[in-house]
């Protein structure tokens, strides 16, 4: 094993947002719990934030601001069970200078190991720690620690559950109320803690057990309550270079997923699961993940036959994605992304939860832990690797259909309108207005007008059914989501005299355009992304009418009648787009009338212009006035559906496409996009692959896949990793460079490897069949664990179970 490709390691002493960002990347998780990688000795400060989260646990608070009560719903930072305090000859560890640090997260094992060396006036004090989180018994986590002084010392060791924590990860949120729960009980006898969220009324319980050993002897540990903190402590007279060793097990449960009385449940779990069982479960889980989900990119010069043999031996059940390229960092970043996605959600936990994947996973409090459209970027990964996880995530949305209907009703709309930001209940968590701190006036917040989130949810349902062949989720509420969101759109469009339908008052993915210049109301007209995705969504609805046996009964029960079906067909074929004579589509109607902007001048003046919206506003201008995009908007269609499907849709809608339509649209929007969102660059990477711009494609991929590692968004990784771009870059590697497409209900592959990639290997699960894929510049090898009809570089082929087939790459 090349350890550099499997370990995220930091040896520097960072502060501020850089330290916070490293802690996000060092986070552990198991689908239920997310555990930031802050040092066990740290508390909330400008340099450290030891957060702990449980999926789906939110609370609302109210804060008076400028004459208004601002309501925020936040993912709750749970009581902190990792805090270790120590005094060495009367001096607190927290008051010593940290002189050396090493943090190592091993993706292969899922273990975070750290070493901290402190300067004491009598010598050096070394603290080593390891963190473990159980993916099987997903209520459990554990810590081991060892404290050693290189001089004789009286050491008081205290292991705490700190109930005084608040939700304070994000600097700009700290002015708002952040105390999320009340302490109900801290019991030193049972070593249990019980708290309850203030508004949502969710009980959260923790039980702990700490064992301390010195010189091979177990020491008695006392427990007490100090300032509502559970404190387990021991006093040791330690000889020089003789460690005091701690093992702490923690069990965490909430009333959202645990329906028994929490305290007996906690104590029973703690009694049943040892550190060894946690370690064994982690070993089994991560062995299976890397046997199933690795993506391998390799630059070794070994022969193709040797490489394929090696990959088959390692990869048959393999989730790793391995690449042979001219640098180790790409392989490391791939594995980091795979690792975090398999911590953000996994079926063993998520099947028992009512939760989805927020934009930052469970690694920080950015965007208050809310769920946006980022499911669109991560769900295809789960669907092609662990469909049970994808299904559980979709059920979160299905369960909130009634909330989406209520959202629509409140806005005077029909059907169901999913919120741009969702949390516990499924109501809209985007603010209606925000305070302009320059003039101290309240202004509209139009971000909620990104109604395309409903289309993203439908897309996710479609992806799941195409990848898995499982339509049962449609029978269990999924079709109702499609029917009710279709009612929303069919009511919202307006038919013009020319027979075309217009859609107004929405925003596309590009958040730099919330309204027309000087407009009093937010939203734009005929956003191309929204209209084309709507045409596609209605088309799928009409297809299901013909193919889904339960369609008629479910549609009848939903009052989706023949008139609505006819209108769906009419709207799908006649939504309006604005198109120039050269084939370039306007991002929205009248977009071409906006002013151009001199990007070179702004870059020369400001340097980094990825948040040019803020630069313009600081100059008294508005991005609404200019042809500038935060991220891919119209071009996002290619990522979702692929170039050929988009072309077919556009032609069905009555628009003629020149042969070079994709080149012209790509060049036009690429020149105007500043990539203010991490999800932007992978879209351009995928398009450039199909335009045979391989150097540009790989550059976009390299920038995107390092987004969090390099923290290219100006410190935002401090608030949690960007889960969307993690899923998106893996999709681009496998689906665009690797050429795998599962979206038409069949397995097809047509690779496009960069010149400096000698090998690419990964697996995909398609409709219950696992396919191991090995690609080189000259051959593609496919091996399935069941018979499967496939399409390879445009030609049909039949895979026989457990027999490898090799295909020559086309020149």
Q: How confident is the model over 167-190, as pLDDT tens digits?
A: 999 999 999 999 999 999 999 999
| Euclidean distance between CA atoms 537 and 568, whole angstroms | 10
Residue 312 has pLDDT above 60, yes or no: no
Reported confidence tier of residue 291, pLDDT bands at 50, 70, 90: confident
* Same-domain check for residues 314 and 224: no
Q: Find the farthest-apart pair of alpha carbons in the chain and give their distance in angstroms, rounded.
A: 90
Residue carrying structure tokens 């000859």: 89
Q: How confident is the model over 665-722, as pLDDT tens digits?
A: 999 999 999 999 999 999 999 999 999 999 999 999 999 999 999 999 989 999 999 9
Asked whether residue 674 is domain-assigned, the answer is no
Helix ranges (H only) for 236-355 are 262-272, 275-290, 304-315, 328-344, 347-350
Contact criterion met (CB below 8 Å) for 29 and 11: no
Number of domains in the chain: 3
Q: Give me the pLDDT at residue 298, please.
A: 64
| Euclidean distance between CA atoms 55 and 51, whole angstroms | 13
| Euclidean distance between CA atoms 247 and 219, whole angstroms | 12
Long-range contacts of 490-499 (CB under 8 A, 24+ apart): 490/414, 490/415, 490/564, 490/567, 490/568, 490/571, 491/413, 491/414, 491/415, 492/413, 492/414, 493/571, 493/575, 496/576, 499/574
Asked whether residue 209 is domain-assigned, the answer is yes
Beta bridge partners of 231: 160, 224
Q: Which of 636, 659, 691 represents a domain boundary (last residue)?
A: 636
Are β-strands 140-149 and 52-54 bridged in parallel, bridged antiparallel, or unpaired? unpaired
Reported confidence tier of residue 310, pLDDT bands at 50, 70, 90: very low
- What lies within 8 Å, CB to CB, of 595 at 6+ separation is 625, 626, 627
Residues 423-430 have a mean pLDDT of: 96
Least trusted range by pLDDT, from 461-465, 572-576, 735-739, 807-811:
807-811
Least trusted range by pLDDT, from 6-15, 217-226, 310-319, 435-444:
310-319
CATH of residue 298's domain is 2.60.420.10
Asked whether residue 338 is domain-assigned, the answer is yes
- Is 374 annotated in a binding site? The answer is yes
Q: How confident is the model over 741-790, as pLDDT tens digits?
A: 999 899 999 999 999 999 999 999 999 999 999 999 999 999 999 999 99
* Same-domain check for residues 137 and 201: yes
Q: Which of 365, 375, 511, 736 is catalytic?
A: 511
Return the closest-CA partner of residue 721 out of 296, 365, 309, 482.
Answer: 365
* Same-domain check for residues 59 and 200: yes
Q: 377-409 as b/e, with b when 16 or more CB fall inside 10 Å? A: bbbbbbbbbbbebbbbbbbbbbebbebbbbbbe
Burial group, residue 573, by CB count within 10 angstroms (0-12, 13-18, 19+) = middle
Helix (H, G, I), strand (E, B) or coil at 318: coil
Residue-averaged pLDDT of the chain: 95
* Same-domain check for residues 549 and 429: yes
| Euclidean distance between CA atoms 698 and 87, whole angstroms | 52
* Same-domain check for residues 128 and 85: yes
- What lies within 8 Å, CB to CB, of 160 at 6+ separation is 80, 81, 83, 84, 85, 229, 230, 231, 232
328 vs 171, more confident = 171
Asked whether residue 662 is domain-assigned, the answer is no
Residues 372-379 have a mean pLDDT of: 97
Contact criterion met (CB below 8 Å) for 112 and 26: yes
Q: How far is CA 303 from the centre of its chain?
A: 37
Asked whether residue 698 is domain-assigned, the answer is no
Q: How far is CA 332 from the centre of its chain?
A: 18
Reported confidence tier of residue 307, pLDDT bands at 50, 70, 90: very low
Q: How confident is the model over 335-358, as pLDDT tens digits?
A: 999 999 999 999 999 999 999 999
Distance (Å) of CA 767 to CA 26, 341, 384, 746: 34, 21, 9, 9
| Euclidean distance between CA atoms 499 and 575, whole angstroms | 9
Q: Which of 217, 248, 275 represents a domain boundary (last residue)?
A: 275
Range of the domain at 310: 291-399+704-811
Contact criterion met (CB below 8 Å) for 375 and 357: yes
Asked whether residue 458 is domain-assigned, the answer is yes
Q: Give me the pLDDT at residue 439, please.
A: 57
Contact criterion met (CB below 8 Å) for 769 and 778: no
- Is 104 annotated in a binding site? The answer is no
Q: Give me the pLDDT at residue 437, please.
A: 59
* Same-domain check for residues 573 and 553: yes
| Euclidean distance between CA atoms 138 and 30, whole angstroms | 6
* Same-domain check for residues 238 and 319: no
- Is 630 annotated in a binding site? The answer is yes
* Same-domain check for residues 475 and 509: yes
Contact criterion met (CB below 8 Å) for 729 and 698: no
Burial group, residue 722, by CB count within 10 angstroms (0-12, 13-18, 19+) = buried
Q: How confident is the model over 153-171, as pLDDT tens digits?
A: 999 999 999 999 999 999 9
Q: Give me the pLDDT at residue 436, please.
A: 61
Residues 270-292 have a mean pLDDT of: 95
* Same-domain check for residues 177 and 317: no
* Same-domain check for residues 135 and 173: yes
Residue 315 has pLDDT above 60, yes or no: no
| Euclidean distance between CA atoms 187 and 536, whole angstroms | 57
Task: Express the helix, strand and coil content of the chain in percent, nearest 5 each.
Answer: 35, 25, 40
Reported confidence tier of residue 303, pLDDT bands at 50, 70, 90: very low
Q: How confident is the model over 226-241, as pLDDT tens digits?
A: 999 999 999 999 999 9
- The alpha-carbon radius of gyration of the chain (Å, integer) is 27
| Euclidean distance between CA atoms 428 and 454, whole angstroms | 13
Q: Give me the pLDDT at residue 810, please.
A: 78
What percent of the chain has pLDDT above 70?
95
Residue 435 has pLDDT above 80, yes or no: no
CATH of residue 456's domain is 1.50.10.10
Asked whether residue 648 is domain-assigned, the answer is no
Can 411 be counted among the known catalytic residues?
A: no
Q: How confident is the model over 566-575, as pLDDT tens digits?
A: 999 999 999 9
CATH of residue 131's domain is 2.70.98.40
* Same-domain check for residues 94 and 209: yes
Reported confidence tier of residue 319, pLDDT bands at 50, 70, 90: low
Contact criterion met (CB below 8 Å) for 129 and 306: no
Q: Residue count of the chain, please give it.
A: 811
- Is 631 annotated in a binding site? The answer is yes
Q: DSSP for 601-621?
A: HHHHHHS--TTHHHHHHHTT-
The CA-CA-CA angle for residues 186, 253, 104, to 5°, reads 95
* Same-domain check for residues 213 and 231: yes
pTM comes to 0.95
Asked whether residue 658 is domain-assigned, the answer is no
């Amino acid at each position: 094993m090349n350890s550099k490709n499997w370990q995220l390691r930091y040896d520097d002493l960072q502060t501020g947002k850089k330290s916070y960002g490293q802690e996000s990347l060092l986070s552990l998780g198991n689908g239920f719990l997310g555990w930031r990688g802050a040092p066990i000795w740290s508390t909330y400060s400008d340099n450290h934030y030891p957060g702990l989260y449980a999926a789906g646990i939110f609370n609302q608070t109210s804060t008076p601001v400028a004459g208004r009560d601002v309501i925020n719903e936040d993912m709750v930072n749970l009581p902190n069970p990792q805090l270790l305090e120590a005094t060495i000859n009367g001096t607190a560890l927290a008051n010593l200078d940290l002189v050396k640090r090493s943090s190592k997260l091993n993706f292969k094992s899922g273990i975070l190991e750290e070493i901290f060396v402190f300067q004491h006036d009598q010598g050096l004090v070394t603290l080593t720690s390891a963190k473990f989180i159980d993916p099987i018994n997903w209520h459990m986590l554990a810590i081991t620690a060892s404290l050693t002084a290189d001089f004789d010392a009286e050491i008081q060791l205290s292991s705490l559950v700190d109930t005084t924590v608040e939700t304070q990860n994000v600097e700009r949120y700290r002015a708002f109320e952040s105390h999320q729960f009340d302490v109900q009980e801290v019991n030193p006898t049972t070593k249990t803690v019980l708290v309850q969220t203030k508004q949502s009324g969710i009980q959260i319980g923790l039980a702990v057990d700490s064992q301390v050993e010195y010189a091979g002897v177990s020491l008695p540990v006392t427990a007490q309550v100090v300032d509502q903190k559970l404190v387990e402590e021991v006093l040791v007279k330690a000889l020089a270079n003789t460690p005091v060793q701690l093992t702490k097990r923690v069990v965490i449960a909430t009333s959202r997923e645990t329906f028994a009385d929490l305290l007996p449940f906690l104590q029973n779990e703690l009694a049943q699961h040892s550190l060894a069982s946690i370690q064994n479960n982690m070993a089994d889980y991560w062995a299976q993940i890397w046997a199933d989900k690795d993506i391998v990119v390799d630059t070794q010069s070994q022969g193709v036959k040797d490489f394929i043999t090696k990959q088959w031996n390692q990869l048959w059940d393999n989730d790793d994605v391995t690449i042979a390229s001219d640098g180790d960092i790409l392989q490391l970043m791939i594995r980091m992304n795979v690792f975090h996605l398999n911590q953000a959600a996994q079926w063993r936990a998520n099947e028992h939860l009512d939760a989805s994947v927020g934009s930052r996973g469970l690694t920080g409090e950015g965007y208050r832990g809310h769920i946006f459209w980022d499911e669109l970027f991560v769900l295809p990964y789960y669907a092609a690797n662990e469909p049970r996880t994808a299904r559980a995530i979709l059920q979160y949305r299905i369960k909130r259909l009634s909330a989406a209907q209520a959202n629509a009703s409140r806005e005077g709309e029909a059907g169901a309108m999913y919120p741009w930001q969702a949390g516990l209940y499924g109501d809209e968590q985007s603010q209606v207005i925000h305070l302009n701190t320059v003039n101290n006036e309240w202004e509209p917040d139009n971000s909620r007008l990104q109604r395309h989130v409903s289309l993203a949810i439908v897309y996710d349902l479609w992806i799941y059914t195409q990848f898995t062949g499982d339509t049962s989720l449609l029978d269990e509420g999924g079709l109702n989501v499609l029917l009710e969101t279709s009612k929303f759109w069919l009511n919202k469009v307006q038919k013009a005299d020319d027979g075309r339908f217009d859609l107004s008052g929405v925003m596309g993915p590009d958040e730099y355009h919330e309204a027309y210049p000087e407009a009093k109301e937010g939203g734009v007209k005929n956003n191309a992304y929204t209209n084309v995705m709507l045409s596609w969504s209605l088309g799928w609805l009409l297809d299901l009418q013909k193919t889904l046996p339960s369609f008629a009964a479910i549609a009848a029960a939903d009052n989706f009648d023949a008139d609505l079906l006819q209108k769906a067909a009419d709207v799908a074929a006649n939504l309006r787009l604005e198109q120039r004579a050269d084939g370039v589509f306007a991002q929205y109607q009248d977009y071409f009338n906006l002013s151009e902007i001199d990007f070179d001048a702004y870059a020369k003046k400001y340097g980094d212009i990825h948040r040019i919206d803020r630069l313009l506003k600081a100059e008294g201008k508005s991005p609404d006035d200019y042809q500038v995009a935060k991220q891919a908007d119209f071009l996002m269609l290619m990522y979702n559906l692929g170039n050929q499907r988009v072309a077919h849709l556009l032609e069905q809608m009555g628009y003629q496409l020149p042969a070079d339509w994709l080149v012209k649209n790509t060049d036009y929007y690429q020149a105007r996009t500043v990539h203010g969102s991490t999800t932007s660059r992978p879209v351009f990477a995928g398009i450039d692959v199909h335009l045979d711009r391989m150097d540009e494609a790989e550059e976009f991929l390299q920038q995107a896949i390092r987004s969090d590692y390099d923290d290219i968004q100006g410190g935002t990784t401090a608030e949690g990793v960007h889960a969307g771009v993690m899923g998106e870059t893996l999709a681009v590697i496998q689906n665009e460079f690797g050429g795998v497409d599962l979206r038409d209900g069949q397995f097809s592959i047509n690779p496009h490897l960069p010149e400096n990639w000698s090998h690419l290997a990964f697996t995909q699960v398609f409709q219950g069949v696992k396919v191991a894929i090995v690609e080189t510049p000259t051959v593609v090898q496919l091996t399935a664990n069941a018979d499967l009809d496939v399409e390879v570089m445009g030609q049909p082929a039949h895979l026989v179970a457990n027999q490898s087939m090799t295909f020559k790459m086309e020149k």
